[in-house]
Structure formats: C-alpha cells, structure tokens
Amino acid sequence: YAHCTRRTARTCRGDLAYHSAVHGIDDLMVQHNCSKDGPTSQPRLRTLPPGDSQERSDSPEICHYEKSFHKNSAAPNYTHCGLFGDPHLRTFTDTFQTCKVQGAWPLIDNNYLNVQVTNTPVLPGSAATATSKLTIIFKSFQECVDQKVYQAEMDELPAAFADGSKNGGDKHGANSLKITEKVSGQHIEIQAKYIGTTIVVRQVGRYLTFAVRMPEEVVNAVEDRDSQGLYLCLRGCPLNQQIDFQTVRSAQATEGRARRKGPSLLAPPEAFTYETATAKCREKLPVEDLYFQSCVFDLLTTGDVNFMLAAYYAFEDVKMLHSNKDKLHLYERTRDLAPGNTAPSGTSPALWVVLLSLSQCWLYLL
C-alpha cells in the first residue's frame, strides 16, 4: 500500500485525501515497526565519525537550515508569498493579483510542504470570495520532523497540529518545527527552521490570511517543475481566475458616485461609498499602494470593515517577512497600449473621451 501511494505522488500531490492516506499509512508503519525500505532492508550507510568534514546524519545542524550553510558561502535568498482579503495574492516573485479562485486551491506544493486554501463566497450570490479554510502539510524530513498537518477554519485557529502536538514529533530535531500562538484565536506563527521557513496565519473577522517567508532553494524544490501545474504562490492565479484590478476599481468609483442616486448593485445599502472606503483605508494604510487599493476594493465589494484590517495585517506581515525592505510597497504598473494603439483594458473609457476631446480642441486652436 505504501509503495502504491508513493508511485502516485506526482498525480495526487494536490489531493488532500491522498495526503491524509499517506499520513495514515506512516502511522500504521510506525505502530507495526514496518521497514520503509521493503521486506528486505538494504544495509544502511555508516554514519561519519565526529570531526569528519561532512555533517553526521543525526547532527542537529541538518535540522537548522541557516546553520547548514558554510561561513564562506552566500546567505540564502528568501522570498515571500501572501494571501488575504477578497482574495489578493502576492507571489514569490512579487507579482500582485486579485483572484476569484472559489473552492480549494494549492498555494504551495514542493518537496517539503503542501499548503491548500479553500475560498468561499463572502455574500450569497456574490463573486467576492475569502479564505475560509487552510491546510498545511509538513512532510517527514530526515531525522528532523515527522509528517505534521495543520488545519484552520473560520472561527477555529488552533495553536497545535491536528494530532495535538506543537512540534515536529519524536525525531531528533523535532523542535526545528514549532507552533507559537501570538494572539489567542487570532494569530499563530509556525517556525520550520529545518527548511528556513516562517508561516503566519491570522483570523481577521471570520476569514483567514496567510503569509510565508521561504528560501528560494526550498520554493524551487519540486520533482518535476514542468508538470507542476497549479501552485499559486509560485505561478500566480490562472488567467481565467484573475480580476482586472484597474477596470473593477474604476467601476467601483463610478458605483460609489452613483450610489447617492440609487441602490447599489455590488453590496448592501449599508456598505461603503468610494469616498468613505478610501477614507477608512487611509486610517491604517497611509501609502496608496496595492494594499491600500485592495482595502478599498474589498470594502466596496463586501461592506465588511474587517477586510481593511486584513489588508493592514497583510502589509504588517510583509514588513516582518520580506527580505528586501525596498520592495515592501507594490504599485500598479502602467500597462502598455494594446495592438492598434487602443486604450489599455484598465483605462476608463470616459477618460479617453475627455483626452480625445482636449486634443481635438488643441488642434482646432492651432
């Protein structure tokens, strides 16, 4: 059974039922003292004596990613990924996207861990979604940690793994994986020192946010990158799941102004106008970057002030986790004109009409 499941690892890598089966098989093999090498175990490699130039297989250093680097070697390059709000995704390459992605989607899937999120509609019949469930699977690693599963849902942010433990199990380097509760029911932090990774999970209002700091080497540790498929933190959301931020924001501004004359089509009557949403977001996010714009977007589409806090905490996590302090803020890039010198998809048609009229007036004067 164990060999059979291993052979389907690539095909089933994004399937939580598969990972649960693997976890159950490992438990059974430990209980019955089964060899993972098969009915006949091959002779194990002799561990190196102390003082050898290579590390011993049972040395604590192998369970501390940063200590495994030699003093003269370059420091590891860390990357960041975050998911928050309606939902907004910042990838490992600092690409910022607003996505639909309703249902279950893999955020991270490499040789060391698997992260999957489930996004559900915020309001009945609304296209706005937010993260209602998060599953993190830390895969068994050498002499450091056993396989551990962490699950969080709306109104349930545990400070322990699914089996009740708070570290990596019974192996030699178990403490290289630890959960720390920062704020009860609202904020936990998972340190996985054996892969140099820090994960922050928050519950803001009813929904969850996710942020991670991970070395590039770990990010790219996949068996077959060409067939990796969906892996949102690395590849971003599929094109058919992305929302044109500029176009929607322009529509939101128009909707906010029209709301004075009639009922809203995007949110209930008690929701924010464009002006009040920008004012509210400015309280916590004074810099008008993409986190600020996400805040405005979410307040207008949901009417829930907790989404402002989600954007605020997402940026706070960036400040803590991002290795390049010059890249904390992200700003909207100016899009190139489409073929035929047409207006970019995100530009307001009304603006182009005004610009065209002004240019014609100028030619007339000349």
pLDDT digits (tens, 9 = 90+) for 221-249: 887 665 555 689 998 998 888 887 666 55
pLDDT at 358: 43
pLDDT at 229: 57
Closest CA to 68 of 78, 54, 82, 81: 54
User: For residue range 78-95, what is the model confidence (pLDDT) as tens digits?
Assistant: 999 999 999 999 999 999
Superfamily of domain 66-236: Mog1/PsbP, alpha/beta/alpha sandwich (3.40.1000.10)
Per-residue CA distances from 269 to 266, 273, 302, 304, 357 (Å): 9, 10, 11, 12, 36
Per-residue CA distances from 297 to 250, 271, 321 (Å): 10, 12, 24
Question: What rounded mean pLDDT belongs to the chain?
Answer: 79
pLDDT at 1: 81
| Largest Cα–Cα separation, the chain | 93
Q: Is 55 helix (H, G, I), strand (E, B) or coil?
A: coil
pLDDT at 35: 75
pLDDT at 308: 96
Q: Taking the model in full, what pTM does it have?
A: 0.71
Residues of the chain with pLDDT under 70: 7, 10-11, 13-14, 36-60, 69-73, 224-230, 245-270, 333-366
**Amino acid letter at 363?**
L
Name the strands in the sheet holding 88-90, side by side, starting at the edge strand that comes first in the sequence.
96-98, 88-90, 78-84, 207-215, 197-204, 187-192, 177-183
pLDDT at 348: 42
| Residue ranges per structural domain of the chain | 1-32, 66-236, 245-252+270-327
pLDDT at 352: 37
